[in-house]
Amino acid sequence: MPDLDGRVAVVTGGAGAIGRATCACLSEQGAKVVVADLRGSDAERVADELEGEAIGVEHDVRDSAAGVALAARAKEVFGRVDILVNNAGVNSPTRAVTDTSDEEWDRVMDINVRGTFVTTRAFLPGMVEQGSGRIIILSSIVGQMGTPFILPYTASKAALIGVTRGLAAEYATRGITVNSVHPGLLEIGMHDFEDWAERESMTLDEAKEYFRNLVPQKQYQTPRDIGEMIAFIASDRAEHITGAAFNVDGGITMH
């Protein structure tokens, strides 16, 4: 029997690269999936591609009322929610702190941190009522290491580590686990190699090779790598893991 047979999962940012891979991994393990994304038509397309039961929902994580509506919609269609994957997020442009505007700081913190907070808050009552749940938060290794020229993103991902630990401690006796997943370097997605290449007077290929050589395994991670880790944490095999940070980064961070 698949690890997640009969479970119901909600994935925010489900139409992005990591989101799509996560939805696929959860679906393959038997979960019914709610694909939530600001791009509603893309969310529906991803849902249609999954092998199990799934729906696509247009959703803005910044809207607290929308979070409540998303939780209600998932329960209406599938009866419950067992897994919440807070995946929706944005990067910040590659620039010095002194060139970073208030608006850019607020935008990144609003989506990445507040979005995770209001979405999770909307789903907690249902999980508490049923006495079980898995909450998984997408952070990043940059939130642990400190990375230059993307301060809003780095700060937001560090904040999500605190959110994870605080939630894990608060709900440890309620049957709810809360863990974070920290992707390393993905050649696709939010890593802006072009900005870095321009800053360092490199070609795009040179920049990609530079970053590849930072990884001990000498290869980029894939969205599928992240999705597989999330599926494991969502399963009963991870029942007694909470408040933990799972780095999927090819050995960049070792602890």
pLDDT band at 148 (very low <50, low <70, confident <90, very high): confident
85 lies in some domain = yes
**pLDDT reported for residue 142:** 93
205 lies in some domain = no
Rounded distance between C-alpha atoms, residue 216 and residue 237, angstroms: 28
Within 87-223, strands assigned E span 133-138, 176-183
Q: What residues act catalytically?
A: 153
pLDDT band at 169 (very low <50, low <70, confident <90, very high): very high
For 215-246, write each residue's pLDDT tens digit: 999 999 999 999 999 999 999 999 999 999 99
179 lies in some domain = yes
**pLDDT reported for residue 245:** 97
**pLDDT reported for residue 192:** 65
**pLDDT reported for residue 1:** 62
99 lies in some domain = yes
The residue segments making up the domain with residue 32 are 8-184+221-244
pLDDT surpasses 80 at 79:
yes
249 lies in some domain = no
Number of structural domains the chain divides into: 1
Q: Of 94-98, 111-115, 163-167, give the lowest mean pLDDT range.
A: 94-98
pTM: predicted TM-score of the whole model, two decimal places: 0.95
239 lies in some domain = yes
Q: What percent of the chain has pLDDT over 90?
A: 84
Torsion angle in degrees (nearest 10) through CA of 38, 242, 29, 9: -30
- What are the two backbone dihedrals, phi and then psi, of residue 84, each rounded to the nearest 5 degrees? -120, 120
202 lies in some domain = no
pLDDT band at 132 (very low <50, low <70, confident <90, very high): very high
Residue 196 Cα distances to 39, 43, 139, 141, 162, angstroms? 28, 31, 21, 18, 28
Report the SS3 class of residue 110.
helix
List the CATH number of the domain containing 58.
Answer: 3.40.50.720
For 44-73, write each residue's pLDDT tens digit: 999 999 999 999 999 999 999 999 999 999
- What are the two backbone dihedrals, phi and then psi, of residue 182, each rounded to the nearest 5 degrees? -120, 95
**pLDDT reported for residue 189:** 53
**pLDDT reported for residue 191:** 54
Q: What is the DSSP letter of 141?
A: T
Residues 164-178, mean pLDDT to the nearest whole number = 98
For 186-210, write each residue's pLDDT tens digit: 877 545 677 778 878 888 888 888 8
193 lies in some domain = no
**pLDDT reported for residue 18:** 96
pLDDT band at 118 (very low <50, low <70, confident <90, very high): very high
Rounded distance between C-alpha atoms, residue 194 and residue 130, angstroms: 47
